[in-house]
Amino acid sequence: MVKVINEFLDGVTELQAPMFGDDRGVFSETWNAKSMSAVGLDLDFVQDNQSLSVPTGTVRGLHLQLAPHAQGKLVRCIAGAIYDVAVDVRPGSATFGQHAGVRLDPETGNQLWVPPGFAHGFCTLEPNTVVAYKVTEFYAPEQDRSILWNDPEIGIEWPVADGEAVLSDKDAAAPPLSEVDLGG
């Protein structure tokens, strides 16, 4: 049965599924609708995504989709390790602009639930890191938004220096949160 490890902000949740090991390795049931429902997460996923980031210090994000296609994401790291971050970008929220971050790795087997209305991003802590995540809505380019990964108003303490982060052109050019049209 999955268990809640930590709860952050309004719905951002760190989860851990039991891991069963023997001399062959480890088995874990990473998604089970009944187990998730038992901890209050009744989720319908429509798509699975996976990324490989070769260099340490790769930052992907901060990304989100606006309503009516806002995505919830269940994120896990299946090789390597990441510092995973969720930022509350819900207009009018008491925790708007605040963030939560956790280390995700396959040894711990933890996952982060990032609800709709939160921007998401991560930084790789090891080379050849693979991240897999399930989403609750299909990709909708017209609702896609990016926020500057190192926006000082958000104040994320990333495990990589500004000049050393490996970024896509899109992420490097993203505006700060104060300049992003959130549709609210």
Which amino acid, 174? Answer: A
Instruction: Please count the other Cβ atoms lying within 10 Å of the Cβ belonging to residue 8.
Output: 20
The answer to whether residue 21 is domain-embedded is no
Whether residue 26 is contained in a domain is answered as: no
For 11-46, the pLDDT digits (tens) are 999 999 889 999 999 999 999 999 999 999 999 999
The band of 184, judged by pLDDT with boundaries at 50, 70 and 90, is low
Residues present in the chain in total: 184
pTM to 2 decimal places? 0.95
Backbone φ, ψ for residue 33 (5° rounding): -60, -40
For residue 162, what pLDDT band results from cuts at 50, 70 and 90?
confident
Instruction: Print the domain residue range for 60.
Output: 3-13+44-176
What pLDDT is stored for residue 154 in this prediction?
98
3-class DSSP state of 148? coil
69 in a domain, yes or no? yes
Q: What is the CATH number of the domain that holds 141?
A: 2.60.120.10
Is residue 8 in some structural domain? yes
Q: Tell me the backbone φ, ψ of residue 133, rounded to 5 degrees.
A: -150, 145
| 77 within domain boundaries | yes
Structure tokens at 123: 């930084």
Give domain status of residue 19, yes or no.
Answer: no
End-to-end CA gap in the chain: 38
- 130 inside domain: yes
What total number of domains does the chain contain?
1
Taking the C-alpha atoms of residue 70 and residue 67, their distance in angstroms, rounded to an integer, is: 5
Please state the three-class secondary structure of 18-55 as a single string.
Answer: CEEEECCEEEECCCCHHHHHHCCCCCCCCEEEEEEECC
Q: Would residue 70 count as lying in a domain?
A: yes
**Catalytic residue IDs:** 63, 133
